[in-house]
Structure 1
Amino acid sequence: MQTLFIEDKRLGIALPKLNKSWELYTIEEQGEILAFWEKQRAKIPDRIKELEKVVSRKTNDMLLENDANKMIDLNNEIVHLASVINDLNIWFRTEPVLTGNEKEDSLKRKHL
């Protein structure tokens, strides 16, 4: 199962890397994928909190800094961290569900 997920060093979690369309996986395979994804997804709030602490520290450092070049560097780091937090929030809101045939498909909403 882990071969369907690739560790994203920037985000600090494993992301899905499916090698075929979601509907082509069996219900059992989808269930395994979803179970693994939920474990990864559960890590996101803690990762965001970690990054927010770093952003706060760097913001304070920037406010105290007198060197313009260092301020720019700190600001760029903050912007990068904010981008990571934004991407993590997007992934956190991704809630794939099992798909089945049309008669059983009351759960179908979003896909990985």
Structure 2
Amino acid sequence: MEPFAPEAHFAFDARLGIPTPELRREWTEFTAAEQSAILYYWETVRGAIPDRIFAFEREIVALQARLDDEENFEVVCALTWDIAERASRINDLHLYFRLNQDVAVKAHH
């Protein structure tokens, strides 16, 4: 029997820069030991979320600085879209961070 691999129940989200839950069966179908392993892995991932948020915030600050000096309307629109996209990523990361130990909630979205 192969050892249980909790990371197999997550998929790397390139947009957010973290693995996100992707359970392929109901939470109650996992043994208590498997649930514990998944939660432990999730807590490790979850611990990295504040750093990801901070990185996106730094990117927004840099984009805003460029926006302050930009006069070309098309570039202004592109920069504004880039800022909004990073803000959306921050919002999604906050949602994942708030999952706390309830991986099952987001896993079935």
Same fold, TM-score > 0.5, yes or no? yes
Note if contact 1:7-1:15 (Cα within 8 Å) is conserved in structure 2.
yes
Which entry has the higher C-alpha Rg, 1 or 2? 1
- SS at the partner of 1:43? helix
Alignment of 1:25-104 (within 5 A): 25-96=30-101
**Secondary structure, counterpart of 2:16 in structure 1:** coil
List runs of 5+ in structure 1 lacking aligned partners: 98-109
Name the SS for the 1:42 alignment partner.
Answer: helix
Q: Superposition RMSD on alpha carbons, in Å?
A: 1.5
**C-alpha distance in 2, partners of 1:33/1:82?**
28
Point out where structure 2 has 5 or more consecutive residues left out of the alignment: 1-5
For residues 71 and 21 of structure 2, what CA distance do their matches in structure 1 show? 43
Paired residue for 1:13, among 9, 18, 33? Answer: 18
Q: TM-score, structure 2 length as denominator?
A: 0.87
Number of aligned residues = 101
Q: Alignment identity in percent? A: 34
- Name segments (4+ residues, structure 1) moved above 4 Å: none
